[in-house]
Structure 1
Amino acid sequence: MRIRSHLLLLAFGVILPVAAFSGYLTARLALREQQTFAQGSIERLRSTMSAIDAQVQGQITALHALASLRALETGDIATYHEEAVRVLRSQPAWINVILARPDGEIVDNAVAPEALTSHRYLVEPEVALRAATTRAPAIGSMVTSPSVKTRGVNVVVPVIYDGQVRYVLLAFVKPEFFLTPIEKQRMGQGWVSGLIDSHGTFIARVPAIPKEKAGGPFLAAVARAPEGWYRGLTTEGYDAYTAHITSGFTNWSIGLGIPAEEVLSGARRTGWAMGGGIASSLALASLLALWLGRRVSRPVVALARAAPAIATGTAMNTRGMEHVAEVRTVALALNEAAAAVRERQALLEREKRALQEGDRAKDEFIAMMSHELRNPLAALTSASHLLDVVDPQHPAAKHAREVIKRQTKHTARLVEDLLDMSRIVMGKAHLQPEVMNLADAASAVVQTWRSSGRFEHHRVTLHAEAAWIRADRSRVEQILSNLLDNALKFSPKGSAIDVRVKGDDRGAVLEVADQGPGLSAAMMEHVFDLFVQGAQGLARKSGGMGIGLALVKKLAELQGGSVSVASEGEDRGAVFTVRFPRVPAPTTTAASPRAPKAITPRRILLIDDNDDMRKTLATSLSMQGHEVCEAADGKAGVELAGSVALDVAVVDLGLPEIDGYEVARRLRAHPSTRHLGLVALTGYGQLEDKRKAIEAGFDEHLTKPVDLEALEEAIAFAASRDRPPRDAEHE
């Protein structure tokens, strides 16, 4: 049976007792209208409050990024202040950024550092204490800052180092920032909406705030329940129905006031219609029932027809549904659902594209890495075969040895670049900063490369002026080496490469200029991204895995510097510029380098399960004058150490049966071997691996492939450690 038929029966059934029943129906309808408004208003407020919470979370995210500055960990407040001022300029919602101690004492004021002399403590110290106590972000109230003489809201995050809350970082946010979600509520004429803090002070309001505190009825309703609906006077004194909701994240509350006249208008119109129906004849009642049935059935039918299209994200046309509040509400909800479906479909499409791009990048990287590793392996295989068939004194044998040495270093560098990038991405990079002359570091790198013949096909010049910086010398040399390697790869033979070191007002500058193919504008935007390379043919003559320049950028930024590139276009060359913060030159004179120490023959135990590695290294050490014993596993190594007089044991960590850590612990525990110097030689090169090795009893930790000079230094150091002699326990 259709809606119109039901309405006809209802008209005839109600017409007689309608006089008594009309009042009841009017009241029920009014209640239903209020519930519809209440539900819609609360749902709308939930959406608005979610948007406000997201805005606050965005400020917290920005604060966390600022809190991760290394300057805060090292206590370099001046450097932090410069970065805080820069971040403040990029955050339009922030009025100020303040660094304080957990008790509220201000350490730095980004806008008014001079205010520290008169305003030493935060306006809301309890918010800072709450953030420090809970180790979680804390949201303050609407307050006036004495340093910037304006009102705003405090958003605070703790700054934690070594498990302790060292500081709290506070963003003073403009209240106008929270107006946007409120203004997007599509409010009707005479509606009001306001956001208050936990103390009842207005943060934002539409229309403008008439006074600082919210009205008593609103505060009482908020105190009774975290969300609800009530009738009362607005702050201006207008009769309204008000929905409210409180955020569990910020503890702020938002209200939406709708004029009572608008909420009750539907019920009043229906009451008048019912009164007219009573006065009308039964005929008119029938006609009215038919008319009302048609009035209701059309939008309902339209909703039913449009509902299946929601699944595809198609919005429905709401024309003709405006006169039925429930149908209009449902239509709006369905359109919002359609919009959500469209957004989800768009998000899924973006995620699909991102996965495809990631998969493509992975395949390209694997293919590229395979190519880069196969080339040196092929050269090593050919060189080793050549050594098998020619006399050791033949020039071809010398060439083969040079190939093996060069390709081994090249392969080791590829692996080290990958490991360095991995450490930096995971935040495990270890720096040893020192005050150094950037010109000396550049000169040393250029001279080393020149001596090794790397510049034989290019004209490399160095123009270096003294420029003192505080940085890790090895990492600075690595930066220049990567830039030089890049310039040599892409510069034609016979072309010039200029290395320049100078100082200016903005710091110390390192430049590498080449005459290579140059960079397009699009390429310059991504040249420092990981695994990004210029166009290369299938032969990949330039080589590389797209890590070198990305590593330059990361290493420069880790040391407070920056890197940029400039190019006048393709075939016009490129200039890579690295800037470091400049420091005053030291007053003391560096000590002159010491002459290399002579090698002292020692008795060495070499424990490694890789036969090729063990025998090759044993031969090299024997040629240096050492007496070498070998063991292929940990147990055999421990037994041999107890039966042979030794000075040092060089132990691989990844041994079968018992690993190198257990070997070290057993050797240290036994009286006859506790005097041994222990050197860990392994492929595990993280800081955690080195810490575990030292705790197990090793004196030194080296990573494979190892330089023979570095191994000699480690053996000498381990052998010289002051320990009880072998037979001291019998004295």
Structure 2
Amino acid sequence: MRLRSHYIVLALAIGIPVALFGAIALHILQDTQHSSAIGRIEQSATLTARAIDADIYRAQSVLKVLGHSHALARGDLALFYEQAREASAAPGGWIILYDSSGQQLINTRRPYGIGLPRRPDPEQVTAMLASGQGQVTGIKWGEALKNYFVMVEQPIQTPSGQRYVIGQAFSPAFFAHSFAGGALPPGWRVAILDRAGVIIARSENADKFVGVTVRPATLAAIDKIRSGVFTHLSGDDNEMVDAFTRSERSGWSIIIGAPVAEINAAVWRGVPVMSAGLVIALIAALALAMLAGRHLVRFVARASQAAALLGRGGAVDSLPRSGIHELESLNEAIREASKRLQAEMRSRSDAENERNALLVSEKTARARAEEQNAAKDEFLAMLGHELRNPLSAVASAVSILDNGRNIDDAMAQRARDVLRRQTDHLRKLVDDLLEVNRALMGKLELDKAPIDLAEMVRRCVDTLKASGRTAAFTLRIDTVPAIVNADPTRLLQVIDNLLDNAVKYSPGGGEIVLSVRQVGDAAELKVRDSGLGIPADLLPHVFDIFVQGKQSLQRAHGGLGIGLSLVRRLVELHGGYVRIDSEGSGKGSTATVTLPRLAGHAAVAPDAPSIPAARLRRVLLVEDNTDAREMMSMLLQLRSCDVVSAASGPEAIAAALAGQPELAFIDIGLPGMDGYAVARALKADERTAAIELIALTGYGSANDRSLALDAGFARHFTKPIRLEDLDLALTAQTQGSTVE
């Protein structure tokens, strides 16, 4: 055989393995590219489903929060309408509230107060209320909206037992954000289907396809399994690879498709380069057979090792450079394949981490919701107990008084004392609830003045002694003057709550020590008792709202667990802080309040109210509650008042024109025409403008007082009115327009 033949044989021996290697590498690259592209489609479908689940979860969370609205609980739909508008979880979305019959009560897409239709499928409302489970609907056509929409719905129940279904509505365009922004290649198509296979949103030709049911073959493919990949011909006869997955929360299906030609194009673009390299290698082999042969053998060995490493999922960080351009291109292709493989593996790892994070977040949110629900149930149980005890005593005292001749004067007096104490207790429960709510929401207003903390302590102790609750205790007071800038009423609340706890949790009597001292630039108040003490596990939570130590079924200590929460908030509003210390159960406890001290200031003593002598007055009483109207009328008559009563706004205006009273007590929450409207009407008529108007209502916030002043009221009292306030209103002359 001639040397040329050897060179040809050697060239062929080199060229054939190179050609085979090129084919193998191309096949590996094609498989890698194809797998990577399919994985990317599947990952995009999964991330889109998570984005939709997140939107639905956010909407469900908003609906649950709205379900606990105080406005909805007390039936204030106008305020609830404003809260729902602000809380909508979707730009361009709207919230609908249905009653148990499916009648729309509010619709934030429509103005409040206009007539709203009844939903066409009231049985869905009945089913949700029966099961207690919400739903995510399929796509619907709204006749009034003239467009498609979907709903996330949740059944709710107010503390009063009223049941509703509240829903968040979305337009299909809202879900387009899940695949908008150019994150996917231009040739890819995305569609979101409801459980019936109807298209909710689509990345292309949305106006044409939204509301259309997909092909039966597609519907059959996605109904078999939760997620997967299938190939089909599109409407324009392009072969497509579709990856689909199903949303956890909604049951919707997300389909992302990519053209098969686009997936394969990246691999086939390397075929001409590989072929050219093979031809050049064969021609060069004729002249450089030996050298090229050795070089090619070594190169093929290294490339084969790299390909095997890629097949095992390893990373090809570097390859020795080759002097042959075509072979170096193969090196680059292997390195690029390695980079893409590693990127895909990192992407899958990130997706797994994200899924785990979402699971942890969901478990945390569920645990928090369960804790809040348990706290709510416990609080409602406590509130029911605390309300039933005084109501039981009141009912018994009334029954005793109803016996008339069968009881002596001492029994009647004791019954009246019980009525007075228990109504005061009920008033304190309601006041505590309102005060702590306003304090936690930052709506308390302080009227500060320089006052002596020691003097405030002595006043609280004198009041407690007068009530007789300290008979079994030894009270020791050790104070020095300490001037602080504080609201006297709020500071008395702080001291009274701490003293009340010291007495309540020292059932066997003992010693209670109160001290006030100056510590640097601060004034320090300490209240120490020798009572039950606080367990170590409860001590870090004593300031949490509704938190109390464990009690027996008899609840000997009572209370709602809000006193110390109110104390801490009031002290913080004064720029101070409070601390509770205890060495454990049975070892007593110490409460320490520290406030900024004013140096060089004199305390301002509060003026005692002066009540002029009573005189006969003509009084108009406006109250829609029959019992409350009758009892208030009797109280006024006992104070020598000539009383005319009215149960509504129009009756009140007519009675005022006919009787020309000097004074009018007006309830705010009247049916139809509220108390503010009555006041404005009376002040607008010159025949009744001189009547002194007094608001008597259950609404007692600063905003309510401001509304009363604007409407023309001279005074503002909350129900039930204290007798001293009633006497003051009957005897004092109005000095301008002031609201108390």
Structure 2 counterpart of 1:581, one-letter code? P
Residue 383 of structure 2 is matched in structure 1 by 369
For residue 379 of structure 1, the aligned residue among 367, 379, 393 is: 393
**Contact persistence 2:450–2:603 (CA under 8 A):** no
Distance 1:460 1:365, change over 3 A: same
For residue 630 of structure 1, the aligned residue among 642, 645, 655 is: 645
Distance 1:593 1:364, change over 3 A: closer
Deviation at 1:580, TM superposition (A): 1.0
For residue 352 of structure 1, the aligned residue among 366, 383, 386 is: 366
Alignment of 1:548 onto 2:533: no
- State the aligned residue count: 449
Matches within 5 A, 1:569-584: 569-584=584-599
Residue 518 of structure 2 is matched in structure 1 by 503
Matches within 5 A, 1:516-595: 516-587=531-602, 590=605, 593=608
Structure 1 counterpart of 2:360, one-letter code? A
TM superposition score normalised by structure 2: 0.56
Distance 1:292 1:583, change over 3 A: closer
**Contact persistence 1:678–1:718 (CA under 8 A):** no
For residue 657 of structure 1, the aligned residue among 668, 672, 682 is: 672
For residue 466 of structure 1, the aligned residue among 464, 478, 481 is: 481
Deviation at 1:591, TM superposition (A): 8.3
Using the TM superposition, name which of 363-372 and 596-605 deviates more: 596-605
Residue 641 of structure 1 is matched in structure 2 by 656
Q: Distance in 2 between matches of 1:414 and 1:535?
A: 20
For residue 429 of structure 2, the aligned residue among 414, 417, 442 is: 414
Q: Distance in 1 between matches of 2:605 and 2:554?
A: 47
**Contact persistence 1:322–1:328 (CA under 8 A):** no
Deviation at 1:376, TM superposition (A): 0.8
Deviation at 1:715, TM superposition (A): 3.9
Provide, for residues 402-447 of structure 1, a one-character-per-residue CA deviation record: whole Å limited to 9, x for no partner.
1111111111111111111111122111111111111221111111
Higher relative contact order (CA 8 A, sep 6+): 2
For residue 456 of structure 2, the aligned residue among 432, 441, 456 is: 441
Structure 2 counterpart of 1:605, one-letter code? L
Q: Distance in 2 between matches of 1:536 and 1:468?
A: 39
Distance 1:658 1:467, change over 3 A: same
Deviation at 1:501, TM superposition (A): 2.1
Deviation at 1:457, TM superposition (A): 3.0
Provide, for residues 158-214 of structure 1, a one-character-per-residue CA deviation record: whole Å limited to 9, x for no partner.
xxxxxxxxxxxxxxxxxxxxxxxxxxxxxxxxxxxxxxxxxxxxxxxxxxxxxxxxx
Distance 1:715 1:430, change over 3 A: farther
Where 1:299 maps in the other structure, the secondary structure is coil
Residue 352 of structure 2 is matched in structure 1 by 338
**Contact persistence 2:616–2:641 (CA under 8 A):** yes
Deviation at 1:15, TM superposition (A): 4.6
Where 1:436 maps in the other structure, the secondary structure is strand
Deviation at 1:711, TM superposition (A): 2.5
Alignment of 1:298 onto 2:312: yes
Deviation at 1:488, TM superposition (A): 1.4
Q: Distance in 2 between matches of 1:588 and 1:475?
A: 16
Where 1:432 maps in the other structure, the secondary structure is coil
Structure 2 counterpart of 1:480, one-letter code? I
Residue 710 of structure 1 is matched in structure 2 by 725
Distance 1:420 1:593, change over 3 A: closer
Provide, for residues 621-659 of structure 1, a one-character-per-residue CA deviation record: whole Å limited to 9, x for no partner.
221222222111111111001011311100000011211
Distance 1:13 1:545, change over 3 A: same
Where 1:496 maps in the other structure, the secondary structure is strand
Deviation at 1:297, TM superposition (A): 2.8
**Contact persistence 2:451–2:602 (CA under 8 A):** no
Q: Distance in 2 between matches of 1:553 and 1:419?
A: 16
Q: Distance in 1 between matches of 2:646 and 2:660?
A: 15
Structure 1 counterpart of 2:700, one-letter code? G
Residue 708 of structure 2 is matched in structure 1 by 693
Q: Distance in 1 between matches of 2:578 and 2:281?
A: 82
**Contact persistence 1:383–1:401 (CA under 8 A):** yes
Q: Distance in 2 between matches of 1:322 and 1:455?
A: 86
TM superposition score normalised by structure 1: 0.57
Q: Distance in 1 between matches of 2:651 and 2:408?
A: 38
Distance 1:299 1:630, change over 3 A: same
Distance 1:570 1:461, change over 3 A: same
For residue 486 of structure 1, the aligned residue among 478, 501, 506 is: 501
Where 1:492 maps in the other structure, the secondary structure is coil
Q: Distance in 2 between matches of 1:353 and 1:701?
A: 44
Residue 684 of structure 2 is matched in structure 1 by 669
Using the TM superposition, name which of 541-550 and 392-401 deviates more: 392-401
Q: Distance in 2 between matches of 1:579 and 1:587?
A: 19
Q: Distance in 1 between matches of 2:652 and 2:444?
A: 34
Using the TM superposition, name which of 561-570 and 275-284 deviates more: 275-284
Alignment of 1:325 onto 2:325: no
Structure 2 counterpart of 1:628, one-letter code? V
Structure 2 counterpart of 1:438, one-letter code? L
Q: Distance in 2 between matches of 1:322 and 1:520?
A: 65
Structure 1 counterpart of 2:378, one-letter code? E
**Contact persistence 1:606–1:650 (CA under 8 A):** yes
Residue 107 of structure 1 is matched in structure 2 by none
Residue 147 of structure 1 is matched in structure 2 by none
**Contact persistence 1:647–1:719 (CA under 8 A):** no
Alignment of 1:424 onto 2:442: no
Deviation at 1:348, TM superposition (A): 1.3
Deviation at 1:717, TM superposition (A): 4.2
Structure 2 counterpart of 1:666, one-letter code? A
Larger Rg: 1 or 2? 2
Where 2:672 maps in the other structure, the secondary structure is coil
Matches within 5 A, 1:711-730: 711-717=726-732, 719=734, 721=736
Q: Distance in 2 between matches of 1:623 and 1:458?
A: 40
Matches within 5 A, 1:80-119: none
Using the TM superposition, name which of 332-341 and 289-298 deviates more: 289-298
Structure 2 counterpart of 1:555, one-letter code? L
Distance 1:13 1:323, change over 3 A: closer
**Contact persistence 2:649–2:674 (CA under 8 A):** yes
Alignment of 1:617 onto 2:632: yes
Matches within 5 A, 1:4-83: 15=19
Structure 2 counterpart of 1:664, one-letter code? A
Residue 74 of structure 1 is matched in structure 2 by none
Deviation at 1:335, TM superposition (A): 1.8
Deviation at 1:484, TM superposition (A): 1.3
Where 2:429 maps in the other structure, the secondary structure is helix
Distance 1:573 1:704, change over 3 A: same
Deviation at 1:379, TM superposition (A): 0.9
Deviation at 1:719, TM superposition (A): 4.5
**Contact persistence 2:613–2:731 (CA under 8 A):** no
Residue 148 of structure 1 is matched in structure 2 by none
Residue 389 of structure 1 is matched in structure 2 by 403
Provide, for residues 379-420 of structure 1, a one-character-per-residue CA deviation record: whole Å limited to 9, x for no partner.
111111111014475211111111111111111111111111
Identity %: 36
Where 1:525 maps in the other structure, the secondary structure is helix
Runs of 5+ consecutive residues of structure 1 not aligned to the other structure: 1-10, 40-269, 302-320, 724-731
Residue 131 of structure 1 is matched in structure 2 by none
Q: Distance in 2 between matches of 1:439 and 1:573?
A: 23
